[in-house]
């Protein structure tokens, strides 16, 4: 129960048990936790739907379409992966040439950049595949505006124009879309196996399992998936996704598909090393799951994710900046905040006028 809560899978666990009529067989104490998580997930979904509606209305001002990604896409498309899915920001993608117009319209409607530091702004705008996150000043909702699913400096760089062209509208004639099924799976795989922040890695692997089980009901899905992975140069993350989904969650992947994705496999030594890291890092980040070298495995995957996203000449200065400059700046800001008490705290001690 604690492990599932740590990776935001407690609501998903409620659905799994409820679908199998197993909730009544559990003791009342864990059922109360599961029911509470389910109620929270329903409220979260209502909030997401309202936030997406606010986004849709804002975009009408510039008559622009967007492609919802990850959790927001699963929820709005009513996919099984969206049931009980908890997430903390809304991701969507637009053509790179539309970034300025889309960012401007959201700034006019109450969203503000979460990063004031000049280095962070340059890091996102010059090297990354997304703008610095925006947060609404009232609702505190966070937007991640992408122009691709991987940075332009990454060793793998799928053509975002192909993803945009194949996207499917949520409602006919509407301005909200989601990725095509095979592209949705490939994006989920790429996000998980190129991102070094694996605290919710098991949740993302569960997403992959759910997407694969759902979409594979369609004829020729597996063939289309492997062909698309080869077409947009994402066969390596698909190899990892299918391998670990099969080994950890028992995802039913046909043998011939596993044979096809072997083209994305690294050499045998690297496969062994990745197994040592991912089998540890994909467990919940909870004390009951930690074993020898878990911390080292997570750190190595974090460094690997940056190595995959940035050339060495950019990677070293970036990691040094994050290791030394950023903590120093944060320490200075905290020190200044201590020296300058909040004005409201000062005024509350001022006696009222007679």
Give pLDDT tens digits for 156-180.
Answer: 889 999 999 999 999 877 889 999 9
Residue 33 inside a domain? The answer is yes
Residue 351 has pLDDT above 60, yes or no: no
Pair type for strands 66-69 and 176-178: parallel
Considering its fold, how many domains does the chain have in total? 1
Residue 58 inside a domain? The answer is yes
* Buried b or exposed e, range 140-177, using 16+ CB within 10 angstroms: ebbbbbbbbbbbebbebbbebeebbeebeebeeeebbb
Q: How far apart are the first and last CA of the chain?
A: 58
The dihedrals phi and psi of 194, each to the nearest 5 degrees, come to: -120, -5
- What range does the domain containing 84 cover? 2-310
- H-helix or E-strand containing 145? strand 142-146
Radius of gyration of the chain, Cα coordinates, nearest whole angstrom:
22
Residue 120 inside a domain? The answer is yes
Please indicate whether residue 173 or residue 292 has the higher confidence score (pLDDT): 292
- Give, as one character, the DSSP assignment of residue 255: H
**In terms of pTM, does the model score above 0.75?**
yes
Look up residue 317 and give its two tokens.
Answer: 């200065």
Residue 85 has pLDDT above 60, yes or no: yes
CA 60: distance to chain centroid?
A: 26
Q: In whole angstroms, give the CA distance from residue 104 to residue 101.
A: 5
Residue 347 inside a domain? The answer is no
Q: How confident is the model at residue 136 (pLDDT cuts 50, 70, 90)?
A: very high
Average pLDDT rounded to a whole number, residues 47-74? 94
Task: Tell me what the pLDDT averaged over the chain comes to.
Answer: 89
pLDDT at 343: 42
Average pLDDT rounded to a whole number, residues 92-109? 94
Residue 323 inside a domain? The answer is no
Average pLDDT rounded to a whole number, residues 124-137? 89
Residues linked to residue 73 through DSSP beta bridges, in sequence order = none
Residue 344 inside a domain? The answer is no
Residue 74 inside a domain? The answer is yes
Q: How confident is the model at residue 344 (pLDDT cuts 50, 70, 90)?
A: very low
Q: 125: which residues sit within 8 A by CB, 6+ positions away?
A: 131, 132
Residue 274 inside a domain? The answer is yes
């Amino acid at each position: 129960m604690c492990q599932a809560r740590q990776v935001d899978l407690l609501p998903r666990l409620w659905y799994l048990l409820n679908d199998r009529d197993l909730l009544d067989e559990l003791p009342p104490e864990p059922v109360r936790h599961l029911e509470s998580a389910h109620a929270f997930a329903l409220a979260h979904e209502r909030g997401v739907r309202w936030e997406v509606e606010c986004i849709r209305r804002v975009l009408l001002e510039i008559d622009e379409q967007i492609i919802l990604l990850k959790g927001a896409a699963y929820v709005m498309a009513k996919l099984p992966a969206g049931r009980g899915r908890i997430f903390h920001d809304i991701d969507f993608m637009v053509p790179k040439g539309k970034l300025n117009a889309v960012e401007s319209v959201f700034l006019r409607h109450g969203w503000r950049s979460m990063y004031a530091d000049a280095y962070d702004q340059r890091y996102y705008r010059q090297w990354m595949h997304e703008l610095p996150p925006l947060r609404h000043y009232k609702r505190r909702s966070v937007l991640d505006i992408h122009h691709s699913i991987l940075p332009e400096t990454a060793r793998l760089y799928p053509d975002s124009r192909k993803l945009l062209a194949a996207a499917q509208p949520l409602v006919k004639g509407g301005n909200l879309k989601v990725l095509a099924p095979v592209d949705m799976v490939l994006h989920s795989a790429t996000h998980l196996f190129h991102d070094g922040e694996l605290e919710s890695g098991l949740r993302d692997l569960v997403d992959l399992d759910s997407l694969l089980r759902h979409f594979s009901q369609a004829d020729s899905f597996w063939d289309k998936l492997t062909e698309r992975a080869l077409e947009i140069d994402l066969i390596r993350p698909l190899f990892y996704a299918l391998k670990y989904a099969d080994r950890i969650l028992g995802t039913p992947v046909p043998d011939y598909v596993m044979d096809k994705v072997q083209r994305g496999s690294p050499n045998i030594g690297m496969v062994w090393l990745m197994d040592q890291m991912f089998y540890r890092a994909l467990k919940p980040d909870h004390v009951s799951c930690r074993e020898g070298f878990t911390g080292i495995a997570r750190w190595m995957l974090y460094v690997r994710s940056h190595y995959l996203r940035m050339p060495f000449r950019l990677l070293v200065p970036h990691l040094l900046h994050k290791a030394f400059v950023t903590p120093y700046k944060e320490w200075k800001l905290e020190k200044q905040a201590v020296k300058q008490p909040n004005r409201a705290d000062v005024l509350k001690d001022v006696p009222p006028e007679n």
